[in-house]
Chains A and B, each alone.
Chain A
Amino acid sequence: MAEKPAMPASWRVESKPHKFCPGCGHGIALRALGQAIDELGIQDRTVFGCDIGCSLLAWDFFNVDTIQTHHGRTTPVMVGVKRANPDLICIAYMGDGGGYAIGAQHLVNAASRNDKITAILINNTQYAMTGGQMAPTTMPGQKTETTPYGRDPELTGLPAQGPEMIATITPEGAYVARGTVSKLRQLKKMMVRALKCQMEGRGFSFIEVLSTCPTNWRTNARETWSFLEEKMPQYFQIGEIKIPVSEGDADE
């Protein structure tokens, strides 16, 4: 990441440099999203909803109408906007706590209702903004502030398999994928497909994004990248899990 690629046109220059910690994956995920919005030409009709947790720091990130909501509640707010005005492209952007813990019922029900929104969930294996507590996505043995001796699957289960669950409960037409901030081009492609799924009214679209949190992981740059690229994929398989049938060209 030595060279700085140009900012996506949908990014808001005035709010850059952004407020995420150095080495945080949010910036990369939001770059992929910005590029997707640019490519699809939907900046004028996109509504971006961000959750509580580090995702809230994106409340003024884009030159896109944005609603910063409550913890776990971005999905229903975006469902509400979309139902009221189906012409808008609604994106619910949240963390793993927001999607798989406090807001799980909303994510599950929006998915099974096949609401035509796009949910993007950043998986960095813990609650970052509140100081690094265990999340549904914390890896077995991983130390967090509430699992100081490492997550014990006997006591607290295994990492949530979000996209796999969403793929199971959504009808045909939905789009479900898991990407990673280490593969920006693939991630952007997933975002384009997810948004297209919404634009074409096919169904619910969902992307989990494997991301980094060196601040709470307490890792240096090399360790951070190795956790993301080597450890996380042991539990979280990257790729497209469900694509609309007619799309039929899953790759990468």
Chain B
Amino acid sequence: MAEKVIAGEKRVFMTGNEVVAWAALAAGAEIMYGYPITPQNEIMHYWTRLAPKYNRKFLQTEDELSAGFTTVGGVMAGKRAFTATAGPGNTLMQEPISMAEAMRLPFVAMIIQRGGPSTGTVIYSQQEVMMTVLGGNGEGLRIVYSTANHQELFDYSIKAFDTAWKYRFPTFVLADGYQGKMREPLTIYDPDDRGIKISDTEPYVGRPGTPGVDRPPGHYRNTYNVEEELYEVLQDHIKDFESIADEVSEYESMASDDAELLVVAHGVVARAAKQATEALRQQGLKVGYFRPITLRPLPSTPLREAVNRAGRMLVVESAYGQLGRLLKEALYGATAEFIPYYKPGVGFTPEEIMARCRELIT
């Protein structure tokens, strides 16, 4: 790995997009491929300013299809490669991501969600959950971290590179326009200084020796001739994915032990949900809070336990039930009351969530 990018622990005040660029540098990312789209542009802006100083590379492609497929190429050349996109760009990128999923490539993408459908807004939403988790023609064999603050954005952007190369599933950091554009303090660091090990990379193509003479050739494909052949490959991938689910899944919860109403949210909305929960608890209302950090795989067991204890859940998201659908699948058979609070493409204030909780609990 190249020289240290960050010396010691450093308290900084920056935008989320800048955080991502620093995290990628600190994680040893070697090349970024990208195409302009708001609200992720500044990831590229910071990367292109910083990268040459640390001998890292950048390619601006002709579209997000190309940004995704060049990232596939970069990864197969054995480099920590990544891309970043949003909204309609994420839609286009589902094609290369499905190839990465089929071939178990350690593809890393930062998704800075914006409003949809279509061009929607360039601002904010949580409407790219289903697409990031289950997009493309495939089975959603992907790992998706949803961050809530800049510290997590830094921590999980670094972690994404480790996860991707460790398990060889496409890995995503799912943030949003608010997180991309807002400034708040965080501590940046070199992962090595904290004893955080990032999995080594390994080339798929161009390994030493002549193929067919010194080593077998690397023949990588995503097309199969007969259905059984595909089925067999997928069985292995699905088995691997299921076997790592407990190890990979993460969550945060608060006051859920004796809660009579559990507020469930992810990403930036969870900040408002957590604030609302804290305030309501101070007022003596038995409200709890649960946030899946991994949206894929979901932390199903702790989620189920918390929901069953509470008996009622308020699902809060800036989308029309995308997290909601994932939760319902994970909670199938549970008898807890499921109360949606959906505002597609718009943020939440703690006050709104508090008001809704009060209505429900009193």
A182 interface hit (Cβ, 8 Å): no
> Scoring B residues 45 to 74 as 1 if CB is less than 8 Å from chain A, else 0, what string do you get?
000000000000101011101100111111
Q: Smallest distance from the beta carbon of B64 to chain A beta carbons, Å?
A: 11
Contact A47 B63 (CB under 8 A): no
Nearest opposing residue in chain A for B216, CB measure: A63
Given A52-B223, A87-B206, A63:B212 Cβ within 8 A: yes
* A21-29, A66-74, A156-164 - the one binding chain B: A66-74
- Chain A 67-119 residues near chain B, CB threshold 8 A: 67-70, 73, 76-85, 87-88, 105-106, 108-109
Contact B70 A80 (CB under 8 A): yes
Contact B71 A63 (CB under 8 A): no
Cross-chain contact of B73 among A12, A60, A77, A105 (Cβ < 8 A): A77
Contact A85 B218 (CB under 8 A): no
B211 interface hit (Cβ, 8 Å): yes
Question: Count of A residues near B, CB < 8 Å?
Answer: 36
Contact A84 B30 (CB under 8 A): yes
Can you list 6 pairs linking A and B with CB atoms under 8 Å apart? Answer: A59-B223, A68-B221, A77-B70, A84-B73, A109-B61, A109-B62
A169 to B73, CA, bound (A): 24
Given A76-B61, A81-B73, A109-B66, A64:B31 Cβ within 8 A: no
Contact A45 B206 (CB under 8 A): yes
Contact B59 A79 (CB under 8 A): yes
Nearest opposing residue in chain B for A102, CB measure: B65
Contact B222 A80 (CB under 8 A): no
Q: Which residues of B contact A69 (CB under 8 A)?
A: 69, 72, 99, 222
Q: Smallest distance from the beta carbon of B238 to chain A beta carbons, Å?
A: 22
Q: Which residues of B contact A84 (CB under 8 A)?
A: 30-31, 57, 73-74, 77-79, 81
Contact B57 A70 (CB under 8 A): no
Contact A88 B59 (CB under 8 A): no
Contact B63 A105 (CB under 8 A): yes
Q: Which residues of A contact B223 (CB under 8 A)?
A: 52, 56, 59, 68
Contact A12 B205 (CB under 8 A): no
Contact B59 A83 (CB under 8 A): yes
Q: Which residues of B contact A44 (CB under 8 A)?
A: 209-211
Nearest opposing residue in chain A for B58, CB measure: A83
Contact B77 A81 (CB under 8 A): yes
Q: Which residues of A contact B65 (CB under 8 A)?
A: 73, 76, 106
